Amino acid sequence: MPKATNADDSDAPDGVQIDLISGERMDGMATMEKIRMILDGVHDGNIVILEEGLTPDEESRLIEVTMAEISPDEFNGIEIETYPKSETRDSSLLGRIMGGDETEAKLTVIGPANQIETLHKDETLISALVSRN
Amino acid sequence: MGLFTELKDSISRATDRLFSEQEPKRIGIYGPPNAGKTTLANRIARDWTGDAVGAESHVPHETRRARRKENVEIERNGKTVTIDIVDTPGVTTKVDYEEFTDEMEKDDAIRRSREATEGVAEAMHWLREDVDGVIYVLDSAEDPITQVNTMLIGIIESRDLPVLIFANKIDLDESSVKRIEDAFPQHKTVPLSAKEGENMDEVYDNIAEYFG
- pLDDT tens readout for residues B165-208: 999 999 999 999 999 999 999 999 999 999 999 999 999 999 99
Whole-angstrom distance, CA of residue B46 vs CA of residue B13: 33
pLDDT of residue A47: 94
What CATH number should be reported for the domain holding residue A75?
3.30.950
DSSP string, A30-67: -HHHHHHHHHHHHHTT-EEEESS---HHHHHHHHHHHH
Q: Is the pLDDT of residue B155 over 70?
A: yes
Q: Which domain holds residue A70?
A: 15-130
How far apart CA B111 and CA B102 sit, in angstroms, is 15
Domain assignment present for residue A19? The answer is yes
How many residues are present in chain B? 212
Residue A7 located in a structural domain: no
So where are chain B's domains? 22-211
Per-residue confidence band for A86, with pLDDT thresholds at 50, 70 and 90? low
Domain count, chain A: 1
Closest CA to A109 of A131, A86, A87, A130: A130
Asked if residue A4 is part of any domain, the answer here is no
- Chain A residues with beta carbon closer than 8 angstroms to that of B93: 63, 66, 77-80, 113
Q: Is residue A6 part of a domain?
A: no
* pLDDT given for residue A87 in this prediction: 47
Within-domain flag for A1: no
Chain B residues whose CB is inside 8 A of the A85 CB are: 154
Helix axes B147-158, A56-69, angle to 10 degrees: 120
Q: In whole angstroms, give the CA distance from residue B32 to residue B65.
A: 14
* Gap from A12 CA to chain B (nearest CA, Å): 26
Handedness of CA B60, A131, B124, B209 (dihedral sign): positive
Lowest mean per-residue pLDDT among A42-51, A111-120, B143-152, B169-178: A111-120
Give alpha helix (H) positions in chain B.
3-19, 37-49, 106-129, 147-158, 177-183, 200-211
In this prediction, residue B65 carries a pLDDT of 75
Domain spanning B22-211 has what CATH number?
3.40.50.300
- The answer to whether B71 touches B24, Cβ cutoff 8 Å, is yes
Q: Which of B97, B113, B147 sits opposite A80 (nearest CB)?
A: B147
Q: Is the ipTM of this complex over 0.85?
A: no
